[in-house]
Amino acid sequence: MNNKYINNHIILGVVTAALFSTFIYLEHFGIISKTLNTLLGISAFVLLLYIPKKAILSTGFFIGLFWFYWVGYSFEYQGLGFMTPIITFAFGLLYLLFFLPLYFTDKAYIRALLLFGLSFLAPLDWNWMQLELPFVDSYIGIHKYQFAALLAALSLPSLINDKRYKYTPLLLLLLAINYGYKEQNSAPLKIKLVDTDIKQNVKWTPQALKPTVDMIFTEIKKAQQEGYDLIIFPESVFPLYMNRNPALLRTLLKASHGITIVAGALLSENFKHYNVTYMFQNGEYKIAKKLVLVPFGEYIPLPKFAQKIINETFFGGASDFITAKEPTDFLIKGVKFRNAICYEATTDKLYQGDVKYMIAMSNNAWFAPSIEPTLQNLLLKYYARKYGVTIYHSANYKGSGIIK
């Protein structure tokens, strides 16, 4: 009897987690239905508010797995492939703890308050769990006031005993409806986004360097002939420290008289390493350093003593990239673009100030094959619509496109 009781709670948790995650997998397989996403999202939050307390534990664990099972894939390329299942399990535990506050109450209105509070948190600086994200392609809006209205509409009926008025709080769903987002316009330039598919285990090998550079210049020449104003390449498309290659710099500067070139590379400066974007235009160039690093991939979000131990033990000193102090804007043919490199394009910091257009570049090959590019794309939609920004995204291994 006890085993059956436990199994039922686990199954209910898995169902809740699945409803909360299905929109990602539908998008991954090209199925985009606002109606379906709305129904699935509302159903998921109804269950989060009303399921038994013990089911919350498996709900949080499986949400962590369904959303982030792929994070550990990148460890393979750092000689730590044995850690992949450990990292996957750790993300399950992390989100079990994230949703754990719901376990301590069975009152729906208190859970609603807790969920609203959790929507502001990013455990270990990892902010890809946006509780509003299931509604990014739905009839429900993604702003905080709409999320609050949704939670209120679904939880307040539990406080009303009079059957005649029990479901009147559902009228609050009218406040949660998506009535449209800020206006998003296309930049007044002809822009070419280059998407590549260079395997991560090949990308940094000496044999891959010449074919990669040849491909880049072929794309530049073709784009120039086709009349493009701007060509954008993915993150670290040049698998090298650009400032240590003066001949390559000169060639790019020469090519930039015909077309503006934006491409990712590395920068070594004063014994420090930077993940950067180079913008070549009219025989000159500008560098944009990354502002927000990837937790555990480029920095360790722990106290300094733990950072040093983990960095040296597991990453061989690789997670030591240095950041810029503020976002970088490129002025390209009179149009201002905010620069964003991969993870930072899905953080609020990069959208502060006067931002209409963003150039985002990613290397998603770290996580191939997985749903990571799909989840990233959904998050980019979330931020683009939240702030009214049009994003021009160039990626290695899936995800390139204009995002509004």
Annotated catalytic sites, by residue? 235, 290, 342
- DSSP class per residue in 160-219: ---TTTTTGGGGGHHHHB----------SS-EEE--B---HHHHTSHHHHHHHHHHHHHH
SS (HEC) of 253-314: HHHCCCCEEEEEEEEEECCEEEEEEEEEECCEEEEEECCCCCECCCECCCCHHHHHHHHHHH
Q: Quick one: which H or E segment has residue 339?
A: strand 335-341
Supply 373's token pair: 């590019």
Report CA dihedral (76, 78, 79, 80) to the nearest 10 degrees: -60
Distance CA 185, CA 369 (A): 32
Supply 304's token pair: 């300094």
53-68 and 2-28 helices cross at what angle (nearest 10)?
30
140: β partners: 177
Which residues, 6+ apart, have CB-to-CB distance to 392 below 8 Å? 187, 191, 193, 232, 337, 357, 358, 359, 360, 402, 403
Q: Shortest CA distance to 195 belongs to which of 242, 231, 221?
A: 231
| ∠ CA 68-74-79, rounded to 5° | 140
